[in-house]
Structure 1
Amino acid sequence: MNEALWLLVALLAAGGGVAAGYVFRKKQAAARLQSVEILSQKIVDDARREAETLKKEALIQAKDQLYQLKLEFEHEGKERRAELAQVEKRLSQKEELLDKRAEALETRENELSRRETSVGDKEKHLEKKRAEIDQMASQQKEMLERIAGLTQDEAKAQLEESVVSEARHEAAKTIRRIESETRESAAKKSQEILALACKRYAGDYAVEKTVSVVNLPSEEMKGRIIGREGRNIRAIEAACGIDLIIDDTPEAVIISGFNPMRREIARLSLERLISDGRIHPARIEEIVKKVSTEVEASIKEAGEQATFDVGVHGIHPELVKLLGRLRYRSSYSQNVLQHSIEVAFLSGIMAAELGINPKQARRAGLLHDIGKAVDHEIEGPHALIGQDLAKRFNEKPHIVHAIAAHHEDLPPETVLDVIVQAADALSGARPGARREMLESYVKRLEELEAIANAHHGVANSYAIQAGREVRIVLEPEKTSDEDAVMISRDVARKIEEELMYPGQIKVTVIRETRAVDFAK
């Protein structure tokens, strides 16, 4: 009984403990559940706050981007408005320019209509004068027929008969003269050939050219050189006295002329104009004047260089300048300055071999052709002209006499005279040194210019197109348009009477009036 009671008590105690443990665990689980709910609520709240923060940041970024886009749009709109304003300004300027041009065109049209009216009146007046002149000519012809007792046809017949007879007589004289000259030149040529075979001399060829080539940076430069309606090329040819040839040669133009100095001035002027880029008649004249001055300076330098090369000192400065001018002279196509230097060296060599002062011989040889520097300005043989020049500038008597005697215009008196004469012959006679045809051609061109320059009112004259044309520039203040017509006819008749030439020669007379003023 007691054991049963203790067992019951034990069972009840165990049951109570179990019940108490269950209640405790239940309370503990409830507490844990509450803690988890609190944590989850906190996590949710944190997530909600973070989402709100991200939302605010995204909204701020969106507003910032929108503001930046708005600023860019306003800047672009401002630039567009500025461009539009510039375009409107340019359009307004063009409208003003077009209005001014329209006014100028209208003024020009009015002026042209006025001139047309004036020209029409002048034409009517000229027609009336022409009719009066024709009537007067008819009356004068009838009067001449009555006075002469011959009709017009009879007078023509007599004149033709007289002209034919005179022409036949002149032709006969010309034929006889040509035959005589041919026989003389044939004998002289045969002697020269024999002499050249005996004294061949190896030296540089000294044949002058009659053309120069100027290279161009591009083909379009040819059009700028020609100019509008050819005014630039005409200005260059008129200022320099040369013939400018522009053909299919790529990036090059050719300067043609018989005078080396004019050709050099034209070459340097054209190169300056091409380099400068400003090519118009006024600039052309300015450059040509400047280059002409520089060429004069280069002439003096050439004379000084020649004296230095030969080793001759103490020559008068004027003689040095004249010596430099020989650079632009030629004798039978041989450059006279180079020929003089060569004669000086040959004279020095021969003088040294003969025991004579070589310096004196070189001096005489260098100056022997000094007269050719001015023989186109002074009448007489170049040897005697050179004698006068050397005497004027205090050269020693034996040097002066050697200059005068080198072509036997005066008889040789000393060994120095003979040495200079022999050196001159040797320099000119060597193979390739001279070409007689070119010298006669140049002489004919100079004679053409001399005939043109002999007339009153001629400013300049140039033989161009290889002597097939003479271009004469008149002084407008001293001549009239009628004078230009008469000068062209007179020059043509003079050429026919005095010169021998193949084909025909065109005579062009230019009279140009210019009005120049300055805006201040």
Structure 2
Amino acid sequence: MEQLAIVLLLLLASLVALLLVLLARREASANRAQAAQDVSSIKAAAEVMLADAKRREERLTEREKEISAERREVRTLHEAADRRSLEAQQDRTAAAAAVGDATARASELLESVSGLSAEEARAEQIRLATERAAHDAAAGIRRLEAKARRTADERARQVVATAVQRIAGPTSAQNVVTVVALPAEEMKGRIIGKEGRNIRTFEALTGVNVIIDDTPDSVTLSSFDAERREVAAVAMEALIADGRIHPQRIEIAYAEALAGADERAVTAGHDAAERAGVTRLHPELIETLGRLRLRSSYGQNVLAHLVESARIAAAMAAEIGADVEVARRAAFLHDIGKALSAELGGTHATVGAALAMRLGEPPVVVNAIAAHHDEVPMESVEAVLVQAADACSAARPGARREELDQYIERMDTLESLVASHDGVRRAVAMSAGREVRVIVEPDLVDDAAMPELAQGIARQIEKDLSYPGEIVVTVIRELRATATAG
């Protein structure tokens, strides 16, 4: 049995080997057929490429023949051009010789006819040509100047109109009254005080009229002096907020309001610089600008005028391509000297320029400040824009009221006249100049001398001042004694 199994295994192995051989032969036959097919395809492709190469070679041969023919034609054209150039040169030479002969004969003829040599005739022609050219040039310049003036005027009007129209400025806003709101109607009685002592003390200290009328929940502070009116308003608001209103508390509130003036000036300066769009200002410039919040020129608030001028100058600079920031900065600072001119002397333009120079402002800004009233020559187009912006802000309808400055001047003159009397500690003009209250030193003026002093002041006012209506003179003498219990 084992031998039979071995025989069967051998037969099976032989069959498998035979099968593998047959499969290998079949695969080899298929590969040979595929190879023969690939060779046929390659031969066909080679024949196609060979035929294409032959066609290209034939086309190249034809192109070479065409190029050769073109080269022969170009060579022929060059030769013809050379011949024509030579002929033209010969013609020019002959023409030049003919022109020379004709010029010589013409010169001889002109000399014989005019009696001038060739040099003299040439000089005369040059003179006439020069005069004619100069005349034409002058006429052309005049036409250009006239056109430039027309164009410049139109452009200037357009720039100014555009700049002003973009600024929505208010009318003159410098008032002579300030309204203070009250938390309750009963506060009016506390402001008046017993027998009116609180309101009399407040008016005597501040120099401001306190008007308590039928207007609900408010009192009105009236004065032509903006600084007094502001201090009085701050003091009144502090008294109302505190609730304790009596003469001693009024004095404390008034002193605190006076002490806070510098802080209010700095705040107003920062607010104005922010509205004008001007940055990096020296702190002293900010404080000085803030003082202008209480100054007015013909009824126009000076600080508001500076903000408006800065905006107009920046708009005009943008229209004409000038330096916008320089124009804005110079216009914002151009009237800063009005806060100092009374202290230092000189015009506000020169004082403001000196302050700006000392605090490190650029020379172009300093020159624009100094030159905005033509006191020094303008050195830049931005200086011209500052002057124009100043005029636009001041001259626009509703910007100023001339009579306000006249009132203020009359009040100052009245107070100065009264304060010149011996024993007068303080003089306050009130009710639009129709009343003046005189506070005297109790040690220098006694009760018996008060009527005589009032009469003397009235007589001097009649003599030295011109005023409408009547002026009531009120002399106030107050003697206080203070003691502290410890």
TM-score (norm 2): 0.61
Question: In the TM superposition, what is the alpha-carbon distance from 1:447 to its structure 2 partner?
Answer: 2.2
| Distance in 1, Cα, partners of 2:261 & 2:485 | 33
Deviation (angstroms), 1:220:
3.0
AA aligned to 2:264 is: S
> What's the offset of the Cα at 1:318?
1.9
Quick check: 390-399 or 422-431, which moved more?
A: 390-399
Match of 2:252 among 286, 297, 301: 286
Q: 1:474 to 1:426 in 2, by over 3 A?
A: same
> Among residues 294, 298, 319, which one is paired with 1:353 in the alignment?
319
- Please report how far the alpha carbon of residue 415 of structure 1 lies from its aligned counterpart in structure 2 after TM superposition: 2.3
Determine the structure 1 residue equivalent to 2:209.
243
User: Which AA in structure 2 matches 1:460?
Assistant: R
SS at structure 2 position matched to 1:250: coil
Identity %: 50
* Structure 1 partner of 2:71: none
Indicate whether 1:442 and 2:408 are aligned: yes
* Residue 387 of structure 1, aligned match among 347, 353, 361: 353
1:480–1:405 CA distance, 2 compared to 1 (3 A): farther
Q: Aligned residue for 2:480? A: 514
Task: Give the counterpart letter for 1:418 in structure 2.
Answer: V
User: Does the residue aligned with 1:244 lie in a helix, a strand or coil?
Assistant: strand
2:169 and 2:308 in contact (8 A); partners too: no
1:394 to 1:458, Cα distance in 2 relative to 1, 3 A: farther
Deviations 1:141-187 (A, max 9, x none): xxxxxxxxxxxxxxxxxxxxxxxxxxxxxxxxxxxxxxxxxxxxxxx
Measure how far apart 1:413 and its partner are. Answer: 4.2
| Aligned AA (2:289) | L
Instruction: State the Cα distance separating 1:269 from its structure 2 match.
Output: 1.9
Any residues of structure 2 matched to 1:37-436 within 5 Å, and which?
201=165, 203-436=169-402
Q: Which runs of 5+ in 2 are unaligned?
A: 1-156
Q: Which residue of 2 aligns with 1:116?
A: none
How many Å apart are 1:376 and its aligned residue? Answer: 4.5
Question: How far 1:257 sits from its partner (Å)?
Answer: 0.9
Please report how far the alpha carbon of residue 490 of structure 1 lies from its aligned counterpart in structure 2 after TM superposition.
4.9
1: CA distance between counterparts of 2:197 and 2:456? 27
Alignment TM-score, normalising by the size of structure 1:
0.57
CA distance, structure 1, for counterparts of residue 379 and residue 362 of structure 2:
15
8 A contact 1:207–1:435 mirrored in 2: no
**Deviation of the 1:286 alpha carbon:** 0.3
SS of the residue corresponding to residue 198 of structure 2 reads helix
Change (3 A) 1:487 1:413: farther
Shift of 1:305: 2.2
User: What's the CA shift for 1:270?
Assistant: 1.7
For residue 333 of structure 2, what is the amino acid of its counterpart? Answer: L
Q: How many Å apart are 1:263 and its aligned residue?
A: 1.6
Give the deviation of 1:512 after TM superposition: 1.8
- Return the letter of the residue paired with 1:449: E
Deviates more, 1:497-506 or 1:341-350: 497-506
Describe the SS at the equivalent of 1:254: strand
Aligned length: 324
Q: CA deviation at 1:478?
A: 5.3
Distance 1:349 1:477 in 2: 61
Q: 1:432 to 1:307 in 2, by over 3 A?
A: same
Code of the aligned partner of 1:492: A
Inter-CA distance 509–403: structure 2 relative to 1 (3 Å threshold): farther
Which deviations, in whole Å up to 9, do the C-alpha atoms of 1:230-288 show, x marking residues without a partner?
Answer: 11001111121100112232332211111223222222322222232211100001011
Residues 190-211 of structure 1: CA deviation (Å, up to 9, x unaligned): xxxxx9xx96755322421211
**Residue 449 of structure 1 aligns to a residue in which SS?**
helix
Residues 207 and 432 in structure 1, CA contact (< 8 A), matched pair in contact too? no
Match of 2:462 among 491, 496, 500: 496
Alignment CA distance shift 1:477-1:351 (3 Å)? farther
SS in 1 for 2:438: strand
Q: Give the superposition deviation at 1:375.
A: 4.0
Report which stretch shifted further, 259-268 or 403-412: 403-412
Is the CA contact 2:364–2:379 (under 8 Å) kept in the aligned structure 1? no
